[in-house]
A = this chain, B = another copy of it.
Protein backbone atom coordinates (compact mmCIF):
# COMPACT_ATOMS: atom_id res chain seq x y z
CA UNK A 1 0.00 0.00 0.00
CA UNK A 2 1.39 3.41 -0.88
CA UNK A 3 0.24 6.99 -1.10
CA UNK A 4 -1.49 7.04 2.27
CA UNK A 5 -1.86 10.43 3.96
CA UNK A 6 -2.95 10.82 7.57
CA UNK A 7 -4.67 14.13 8.24
CA UNK A 8 -4.14 14.51 11.96
CA UNK A 9 -3.60 16.42 15.16
CA UNK A 10 -0.60 14.60 16.62
CA UNK A 11 -1.63 14.66 20.34
CA UNK A 12 -5.04 13.11 19.50
CA UNK A 13 -5.31 9.50 20.61
CA UNK A 14 -7.63 8.78 17.68
CA UNK A 15 -4.81 9.79 15.30
CA UNK A 16 -2.22 7.88 17.32
CA UNK A 17 -4.20 4.64 16.81
CA UNK A 18 -3.60 4.90 13.08
CA UNK A 19 0.13 5.62 13.45
CA UNK A 20 0.45 2.68 15.86
CA UNK A 21 -1.19 0.28 13.40
CA UNK A 22 1.01 1.59 10.58
CA UNK A 23 4.09 0.99 12.78
CA UNK A 24 3.00 -2.58 13.61
CA UNK A 25 2.35 -3.38 9.96
CA UNK A 26 5.28 -1.44 8.49
CA UNK A 27 3.02 0.75 6.34
CA UNK A 28 4.45 4.19 5.45
CA UNK A 29 2.19 7.16 6.22
CA UNK A 30 2.60 10.75 5.14
CA UNK A 31 1.40 13.01 7.96
CA UNK A 32 -0.38 16.38 7.61
CA UNK A 33 -0.99 18.26 10.84
CA UNK A 34 -3.89 20.55 11.78
CA UNK A 35 -4.11 22.55 15.00
CA UNK A 36 -7.62 21.80 16.27
CA UNK A 37 -7.24 24.45 19.00
CA UNK A 38 -7.00 27.03 16.19
CA UNK A 39 -9.97 25.55 14.29
CA UNK A 40 -7.88 24.30 11.39
CA UNK A 41 -10.28 21.40 10.75
CA UNK A 42 -13.29 23.72 10.48
CA UNK A 43 -12.01 25.85 7.59
CA UNK A 44 -14.01 25.83 4.32
CA UNK A 45 -11.07 24.11 2.60
CA UNK A 46 -10.91 21.27 5.17
CA UNK A 47 -14.70 20.82 5.20
CA UNK A 48 -14.97 20.64 1.41
CA UNK A 49 -11.78 18.71 0.60
CA UNK A 50 -10.95 16.49 3.59
CA UNK A 51 -14.08 15.88 5.68
CA UNK A 52 -17.47 17.57 5.96
CA UNK A 53 -17.49 16.43 9.61
CA UNK A 54 -14.62 18.81 10.51
CA UNK A 55 -12.74 16.27 12.62
CA UNK A 56 -9.46 14.43 12.50
CA UNK A 57 -8.23 11.81 11.87
CA UNK A 58 -8.99 11.38 8.19
CA UNK A 59 -7.04 8.75 6.27
CA UNK A 60 -6.56 9.61 2.62
CA UNK A 61 -5.92 6.79 0.12
CA UNK A 62 -5.45 8.35 -3.29
CA UNK A 63 -8.63 10.33 -3.97
CA UNK A 64 -10.61 8.55 -1.26
CA UNK A 65 -11.02 10.02 2.22
CA UNK A 66 -11.89 8.00 5.32
CA UNK A 67 -13.00 9.86 8.44
CA UNK A 68 -13.57 8.00 11.74
CA UNK A 69 -10.56 6.43 13.42
CA UNK A 70 -12.21 3.01 13.74
CA UNK A 71 -12.84 2.84 9.99
CA UNK A 72 -9.30 3.99 9.21
CA UNK A 73 -7.92 1.33 11.59
CA UNK A 74 -9.84 -1.44 9.79
CA UNK A 75 -8.84 -0.09 6.36
CA UNK A 76 -5.17 -0.04 7.30
CA UNK A 77 -5.17 -3.48 8.93
CA UNK A 78 -7.52 -5.19 6.43
CA UNK A 79 -6.40 -8.77 5.88
CA UNK A 80 -3.62 -8.54 8.51
CA UNK A 81 -3.13 -10.52 11.73
CA UNK A 82 -4.45 -7.52 13.69
CA UNK A 83 -8.01 -8.41 12.57
CA UNK A 84 -9.36 -11.86 13.53
CA UNK A 85 -11.09 -13.84 10.77
CA UNK A 86 -13.28 -15.96 13.02
CA UNK A 87 -16.82 -14.60 12.90
CA UNK A 88 -17.27 -14.15 16.66
CA UNK A 89 -13.72 -12.93 17.33
CA UNK A 90 -14.01 -10.41 14.50
CA UNK A 91 -17.27 -9.02 15.92
CA UNK A 92 -15.85 -9.11 19.45
CA UNK A 93 -12.91 -6.96 18.33
CA UNK A 94 -15.36 -4.47 16.82
CA UNK A 95 -17.40 -4.62 20.03
CA UNK A 96 -14.47 -3.17 21.98
CA UNK A 97 -13.79 -0.57 19.26
CA UNK A 98 -17.42 0.61 19.31
CA UNK A 99 -17.42 0.53 23.11
CA UNK A 100 -14.27 2.66 23.16
CA UNK A 101 -15.88 5.31 20.98
CA UNK A 102 -19.14 5.33 22.96
CA UNK A 103 -18.22 4.68 26.60
CA UNK A 104 -14.50 5.46 26.88
CA UNK A 105 -13.43 8.23 24.49
CA UNK A 106 -16.27 10.72 25.21
CA UNK A 107 -15.33 10.56 28.89
CA UNK A 108 -11.62 9.79 29.24
CA UNK A 109 -10.38 11.56 26.08
CA UNK A 110 -12.74 14.49 26.58
CA UNK A 111 -11.60 15.10 30.18
CA UNK A 112 -7.97 14.91 29.00
CA UNK A 113 -8.74 17.46 26.28
CA UNK A 114 -10.66 19.76 28.63
CA UNK A 115 -8.09 19.60 31.46
CA UNK A 116 -4.73 19.27 29.66
CA UNK A 117 -5.43 21.23 26.44
CA UNK A 118 -8.27 23.74 26.98
CA UNK A 119 -7.80 24.21 30.74
CA UNK A 120 -10.53 23.83 33.35
CA UNK A 121 -10.77 27.62 33.84
CA UNK A 122 -11.78 28.03 30.19
CA UNK A 123 -14.66 25.51 30.14
CA UNK A 124 -18.22 26.58 29.32
CA UNK A 125 -21.07 26.28 31.83
CA UNK A 126 -22.42 23.20 30.04
CA UNK A 127 -18.97 21.57 30.00
CA UNK A 128 -18.54 22.27 33.71
CA UNK A 129 -21.97 20.75 34.39
CA UNK A 130 -20.92 17.61 32.50
CA UNK A 131 -17.68 17.06 34.47
CA UNK A 132 -19.03 14.84 37.30
CA UNK A 133 -20.92 12.52 34.95
CA UNK A 134 -17.93 12.20 32.61
CA UNK A 135 -15.60 11.50 35.53
CA UNK A 136 -17.91 8.77 36.86
CA UNK A 137 -18.42 7.25 33.40
CA UNK A 138 -14.66 7.30 32.77
CA UNK A 139 -14.04 5.38 36.00
CA UNK A 140 -16.81 2.93 35.07
CA UNK A 141 -15.05 2.32 31.75
CA UNK A 142 -11.66 1.76 33.41
CA UNK A 143 -13.24 -0.58 35.97
CA UNK A 144 -14.90 -2.61 33.21
CA UNK A 145 -11.56 -2.88 31.37
CA UNK A 146 -9.81 -3.88 34.61
CA UNK A 147 -12.31 -6.66 35.32
CA UNK A 148 -11.94 -7.97 31.74
CA UNK A 149 -8.13 -7.83 31.84
CA UNK A 150 -8.04 -9.65 35.16
CA UNK A 151 -9.27 -12.69 33.19
CA UNK A 152 -7.44 -12.33 29.86
CA UNK A 153 -4.25 -10.71 28.50
CA UNK A 154 -5.85 -9.05 25.44
CA UNK A 155 -9.29 -7.64 24.70
CA UNK A 156 -10.47 -9.95 21.91
CA UNK A 157 -9.59 -13.28 20.30
CA UNK A 158 -6.97 -14.08 22.96
CA UNK A 159 -4.33 -12.03 21.16
CA UNK A 160 -3.22 -8.49 20.28
CA UNK A 161 -5.75 -6.95 17.84
CA UNK A 162 -7.13 -3.57 16.79
CA UNK A 163 -9.22 -3.65 19.98
CA UNK A 164 -6.06 -3.30 22.10
CA UNK A 165 -4.74 -0.51 19.89
CA UNK A 166 -8.04 1.38 20.00
CA UNK A 167 -8.17 1.14 23.79
CA UNK A 168 -4.47 1.79 24.41
CA UNK A 169 -4.50 5.20 22.71
CA UNK A 170 -6.44 7.17 25.32
CA UNK A 171 -6.05 4.80 28.29
CA UNK A 172 -2.28 5.26 28.53
CA UNK A 173 -2.73 9.04 28.85
CA UNK A 174 -5.83 8.90 31.08
CA UNK A 175 -3.75 10.46 33.87
CA UNK A 176 -3.74 13.73 31.88
CA UNK A 177 -7.53 13.76 32.33
CA UNK A 178 -7.25 13.26 36.08
CA UNK A 179 -7.75 9.47 36.19
CA UNK A 180 -5.51 7.60 38.65
CA UNK A 181 -4.58 4.40 36.81
CA UNK A 182 -2.97 2.84 39.89
CA UNK A 183 -6.55 1.95 40.91
CA UNK A 184 -6.66 -0.41 37.91
CA UNK A 185 -3.73 -2.85 38.19
CA UNK A 186 -4.83 -5.18 35.39
CA UNK A 187 -5.10 -2.16 33.08
CA UNK A 188 -1.60 -1.04 34.06
CA UNK A 189 -0.19 -4.51 33.38
CA UNK A 190 -1.90 -4.59 29.96
CA UNK A 191 -0.57 -1.12 29.08
CA UNK A 192 2.93 -2.42 29.84
CA UNK A 193 2.31 -5.50 27.63
CA UNK A 194 1.23 -3.32 24.70
CA UNK A 195 4.18 -0.91 25.11
CA UNK A 196 6.61 -3.86 25.21
CA UNK A 197 5.55 -5.23 21.79
CA UNK A 198 8.42 -5.19 19.24
CA UNK A 199 7.16 -2.51 16.79
CA UNK A 200 5.46 -0.27 19.35
CA UNK A 201 5.88 3.49 18.90
CA UNK A 202 5.13 6.19 21.46
CA UNK A 203 2.39 8.78 20.99
CA UNK A 204 4.97 11.56 20.62
CA UNK A 205 7.09 9.68 18.08
Contact = CB atoms under 8 A, between A and B. Distances in A.
A98 B126 contact: no
A68 B87 contact: no
Contacts of A78: 87, 90-91
A52 B91 contact: no
Given A87-B78, A90-B78, A133-B126, A67 B95 contact: yes
Contacts of A66: 88, 91-92, 95
Tell which of A79, A98, A130 has the most Cβ of chain B within 10 Å: A98
Interface in A86-111: 87-88, 90-92, 94-95, 97-99, 101-103, 105-106
A94 B74 contact: yes
A105 B101 CA distance: 12
10 contacts: A61-B88, A66-B91, A67-B95, A70-B94, A71-B91, A78-B91, A97-B98, A101-B101, A126-B129, A130-B130
Nearest to A95: B71
Contacts of A67: 95, 99
A53 B133 CA distance: 16
Interface of chain A, helix or strand or loop or mixed? Answer: helix
A144 interface: yes
Given A52-B147, A74-B94, A130-B129, A102 B102 contact: yes
Nearest to A75: B91
Q: Which 10 A-B pairs have the closest CB atoms?
A: A71-B95, A75-B91, A129-B129, A68-B98, A70-B98, A68-B95, A71-B94, A71-B91, A126-B129, A78-B87
A148 B130 CA distance: 32
B53 A99 contact: yes
A95 B53 CA distance: 12
A91 to B, nearest CB: 4
Contact of A68 (B61, B64, B99, B147): B99
